[in-house]
């Protein structure tokens, strides 16, 4: 039996990211910022779940500290400057990539880092384009 074609996790992440951006065209600018901040805080905490499942105590502590940092960036974007939010997505993509490249970080499914990093980076760029258009 022929093998099914394998879709790249990065491709899937990019497509899902592009698919989630139109919502930000429909929402008011304020609601777009609020939703993007909330999602940044949520995805910033995903690795805490992986760490609680399979990680050591030091790994759990690191993941909680990093997740707290993403929460802080989301709040900074809400309370001080909205541009912290897309920057937070870029940084989260780098954190995803770090999980892909370094085995000493918490164990996660092998497909997840590339999926999430591409989602984050595409979303950050799309969000910046949408928001720049809104303030122009």
> What backbone phi and psi angles, to 5 degrees, belong to 109?
-60, 140
Supply the pLDDT for residue 46.
Answer: 92
- Report domain extents, the chain: 34-135
Q: How many CB atoms lie within 10 A of CB 135?
A: 7
Contact indicator for 115, 9 with CB cutoff of 8 Å = yes
Pair 85, 40: CB distance under 8 Å: yes
**Reported confidence tier of residue 131, pLDDT bands at 50, 70, 90:** very high
State yes or no: pLDDT of 103 exceeds 70: no
pLDDT in tens, 33-57: 999 999 999 999 999 998 999 888 9
Model pLDDT, residue 102: 65
């Amino acid at each position: 039996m022929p093998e099914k074609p394998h879709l790249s996790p990065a491709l899937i992440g990019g497509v899902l990211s592009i698919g989630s951006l139109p919502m930000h065209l429909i929402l008011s600018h304020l609601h777009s910022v609020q939703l993007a901040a909330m999602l940044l805080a949520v995805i910033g905490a995903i690795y805490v779940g992986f760490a609680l499942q399979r990680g050591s105590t030091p790994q759990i502590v690191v993941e909680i500290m990093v997740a707290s940092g993403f929460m802080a960036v989301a709040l900074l974007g809400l309370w001080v400057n909205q541009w912290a939010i897309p920057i937070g997505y870029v940084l989260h993509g780098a954190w995803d990539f770090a999980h892909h490249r370094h085995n000493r970080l918490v164990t996660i499914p092998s497909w997840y880092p590339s999926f999430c990093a591409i989602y984050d980076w595409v979303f950050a760029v799309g969000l910046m384009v949408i928001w720049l258009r809104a303030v122009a």
